[in-house]
Every structure is written in C-alpha cells, then in structure tokens.
Homo-oligomer: A and B are copies of this chain.
Amino acid sequence: MKIRVFIVDDHYMVVEGIRSLLQTEQDIEWTGHAMNAASCLAFLQQQLPDVILMDINLPDKSGIDLCKEVKENYPSVFILGLSTFNQQSFVHKMMDNGASGYVLKNATQSELMEAIQAVAKGKTFLSDEVASSLNESKASQPVVTRREKEVLELISEGLTNSEIAEKLFVSVSTVDTHRKNLLSKLEAKNTADLVRLAIRHHLISAHK
C-alpha cells in the first residue's frame, strides 16, 4: 500500500526537488501539487492523499491557516509542515492546528522519507534541528498575555500611552502597567529595545 503524497508550495524549485526525491521511492505515490492554498483545497475536493507536505508561506494564505482548514474538513489527512526556517512560533502554531510534523527544507532524502512514513502512520515527526531548538526555546520564550500583546503592537506603531489608553478604553495607568510588565518580561532596557526584542521573538512583525 503506497503512501499518497500531495505538496503545497509556491516555490517551483522545491516542488520539483521533492518530486525528484520521492520519485525513486517505491512506497510513495505522487498525487500532485498546488502552488497556493486555494488550489490545494480544490484538489482535496477531488481526492484525498494520505500526507500533505505544506509550506508555511503561501501566497494567498498562511500554511498555518490552511493547515487548520484542511484538518477541520479532512481530519484523516496527515499534514507535514515544511519551511526554510526553524521558527518556534511557526512550529507551535502548525502543531496546534493539527499538523503531525515539521521538516526543514534542507532535510535530506532519508530524513524526508522518515518523516513521511512516520506521519502516515499517525506518528509525530520533527526534524532533529527543529525538536532541539524547540526545547531550548521553551525557557527563553517570553510569555505575554493577550492584552500585553495588544499594547505591544500599538507601542510599536508609535502610539503613546495616552493614545493607547484611548484606543483600548482603559486608563493611562493601565497601559503604563502593561508597558512596565512588557519591559520586565522581555528584559528590555527601554522602548527601543522592547520593539527590537519583540520583533526578534516574533511577538510582533516589523512588516505591516
């Protein structure tokens, strides 16, 4: 019984590379690929693969959202996250949304095969590199609350405490407290440092 594999990735070269890697494998059946989330969903209405290799970065929606959507509609399909970088937050979100594993794009053929086979059996698979950095990061990962994150975002957009207070319908003192807690939680020296660290930890994004 072959494992039917489908790929969602907008990088032509990666799709080709995986196809070529899997071509030689006896127990893999290539069912096709999609370059975006929409055509992936369209494909799934026609037929269901056993495993989907899913890139995190897609043009129309994030792999994280797509993962959730696919799992909700087709819980029997196993999803293997695929990405160039090893970002804890992404790995976490993918796994939270039902992915069974996460592989980096610099994986070897054997690592990829191992991952696909594990996932197809319902097991969990993380690249060694991913797994180890996931452990490391647990301690250093700053935990901010919902509200703190909201405030953090507004701070990074250049709003002052009073402007934030107005926007969130709370008093300036409250915003000030959140700000203090953020500074302390991220061990930031001041606002500038806070913004940089927040971006580094992917709590906020520098881009839009």
Contact = CB atoms under 8 A, between A and B. Distances in A.
Chain A interface size, under 10 / 10 to 19 / 20 to 34 / 35 or more = 35 or more
Query: At the interface, is chain A mostly helix, strand, loop or mixed?
Result: helix
A200 B158 CA distance: 14
A190 interface: yes
Contacts of A105: 11-14
17 contacts: A11-B106, A12-B107, A13-B18, A13-B105, A13-B106, A15-B17, A16-B18, A156-B192, A156-B193, A156-B195, A157-B196, A158-B190, A158-B193, A192-B194, A196-B199, A199-B199, A200-B207
B192 A200 contact: no
A10 B200 CA distance: 23
A189 B154 CA distance: 12
